[in-house]
Amino acid sequence: MLSLLALTLLLLCGRSYAQKNTKDQPNFLVIVADDMGFSDVGAFGGEINTPNIDKLAEEGVRYTNFYVAPTCSPTRSMLLSGMDSHLAGLGNMYERTAQNQMDVVGYEGHLRTDIPALSEILKENGYHTYMAGKWHLGKAKEYLPHARGFERSFSMLSGAGSYFDMRSMDDHIDKNHFSEDGEYLEELPKNYYATTTFTDKIISYIDSNKADGKPFFAYLAHQAPHDPLAVPNKWLRKYQGVFDKGWDVLRDERLERMVEMGILSEKTELGERLWYVPGFDKLKPLAQVVTARKMEVFAAVLDYMDMEIGRLIKYLEDNNLRENTYIVFFSDNGPDVAQKSETYKKYPATNKANWMAKTYNHGHENWGRKGSWTAYGPSWAQVSAAPFNGTKYTTYEGGIRSPLIVVTPEKTNAGQINKEALMQVKDIAPTFLELAGVTPPSTFKGKPTLPMQGKSWAATIHGQEKSPRTDADYIGVELWNCKAIRKGPWKLVSMVIPYGNGEWELYNLDDDAGERHDLAESNPEKLQELIAHWEEYKTVNNVIAPSNSIYDGLEDKLPPRPEFYDPSFYRGSETVPEIDNKN
């Protein structure tokens, strides 16, 4: 009698313990890089040594039309909720919430607690759930990974900080915040280095339960290669001299390799060089060497992350866990143009400068070492974003199109490149649930909950469909009143000053991946069609333009921008202004 009652309750609650044979359910591993550009890894045209990520690409499929948010926490909210960031609680980053967004549902600054997280759903359906790395989805106890369905977790709660210790990224935080299994940490593990420790933790969590036959969902959220860039000393000179050609030559070389690989068409043009970045050949020889040093450190940080990804994959293989595991790898957004922890006006400049001087070492001889704050800045961010226009913080392709690698247990279509699938990070949650045979819940904590918006990739990654979306479907992105709609080959985008003038721009990305040729005037019907989609997207997702912008004041920090897309400021122009390239 009691057994029948228990089974009935489980069925009524939509839980599926009794319906599933957990030994038949697959494992899921999601690996997220932080601030990595589209072409940084070798499999996407980069010159940086990433053999383990490249091997995943050989065993899986590279998808070239995968979209994320312009910054990290909105992307992470979509990953775990299957919802648009404006509904998942990160309509804006909590650090940047505008006055008119305060106390608005969807702008809480943490993952909403009335929407089930992927980890919570899978845990209720018989999965072990593990998380290690950067969280950035809330710091209060009720928002920590442990409270959101992760059985085991070790997390850096802030957006960035030192790779070696608890030094924070902001002058208003005395030290960075970490938690493990729902408890705040006062000190870090011995010999802490973020990339290694995060990998150690995720391996130890998987290993602790490997014998019980239950499937797992593991989320490894690397801090790398977010600034402050730092690596163990023996890695500091690994890339010495590799980037001495400069950013213009290296962008061209990456484009050439991507065309040879079949990632891009032969007609692809690079996005315009940022108007305030000089040609590399305009710098004096000493300045070239010093500036290239920043990219050497960035490359070492990424290379080190690749090594640790290889260690994790080898662990899975050595323990017979690989053959039933789906692996997903991507970057949370495009590369960062900031020279230091903040480019944008937030704190009084003197206070920030004094805090940075006291907290971090900034001399050229310290770049990449423990205790330094090293960032490679806009010059090299353009290389990471190649072939695209824009970087992190923008809704141009360089800010929101991420490299994506998916490996199925069967290694379906191994080595192929899919340029047809239109995909978004909010698709991952419904994909995993379908593959696990789990129906997304219609209620959560006894109340109705929003249905997931993402589209499952199950048929696409198994080679049965080219795309989870048709040319009639669209996806939208917004942050800080920077907007974008993607539909088929068409892209609608609006950027605010200083990156744009707020007007709508229209591009055909099949012909113009670099967003160089605005078709808004020549194709008014398509423009209006996509503007209508934007209005629908804004209404459905409760998009509220902030009363202030992250870019406020930035126009005073950069050289004056010419009339937008003035041909005199194209690549190689003699009129590009010189800038101070000091860190």
What are the CA-CA distances from residue 542 to residues 74, 79, 86, 453 (Å)? 15, 19, 7, 14
| CA pseudo-torsion sign 38, 40, 41, 46 | positive
What burial class does residue 259 get, using C-beta atoms within 10 Å of its C-beta: 0-12 exposed, 13-18 middle, 19+ buried?
middle
Using N-to-C axis directions, what is the helix angle for 72-81 and 428-436, rounded to 10°? Answer: 30
C-alpha closest to that of 378 among 389, 391, 388: 391
Compute the distance between CA of residue 524 and CA of residue 50 in angstroms, rounded to an integer: 44
In the chain, count of helices (H) and strands (E)? 14, 17
Q: In sequence order, what E strands does 354-446 have? A: 401-407, 417-418, 423-424, 443-444
Compute the distance between CA of residue 165 and CA of residue 291 in angstroms, rounded to an integer: 26
136 catalytic per annotation: yes
3-state SS assignment for residue 505: strand
Q: Name the catalytic one among 72, 86, 177, 222.
A: 72
Q: Which amino acid is at 135?
A: W
Provide the 10 A C-beta neighbour count for residue 321. 18
The two three-digit tokens of residue 582, written as one number: 């000091």
Given a contact cutoff of 8 angstroms between Cβ atoms, the answer to whether 76 and 68 are in contact is no
What are the CA-CA distances from residue 523 to residues 226, 241, 249, 477, 505 (Å)? 39, 46, 34, 22, 11
172 catalytic per annotation: no
Max Cα separation, the chain?
A: 85
What burial class does residue 198 get, using C-beta atoms within 10 Å of its C-beta: 0-12 exposed, 13-18 middle, 19+ buried?
buried
Q: Name the catalytic one among 86, 110, 128, 136.
A: 136
| CA pseudo-torsion sign 459, 306, 76, 25 | positive
Compute the distance between CA of residue 405 and CA of residue 411 in angstroms, rounded to an integer: 12
Contacts of 74 (CB under 8 A, 6+ apart): 85, 90, 91, 92, 93, 479
CA-based R_g, the chain, Å: 23
The two three-digit tokens of residue 188, written as one number: 């870090």
Compute the distance between CA of residue 237 and CA of residue 244 in angstroms, rounded to an integer: 13
Compute the distance between CA of residue 305 and CA of residue 301 in angstroms, rounded to an integer: 6
Provide the 10 A C-beta neighbour count for residue 509. 18
Compute the distance between CA of residue 60 and CA of residue 244 in angstroms, rounded to an integer: 33
Catalytic residues: 72, 136
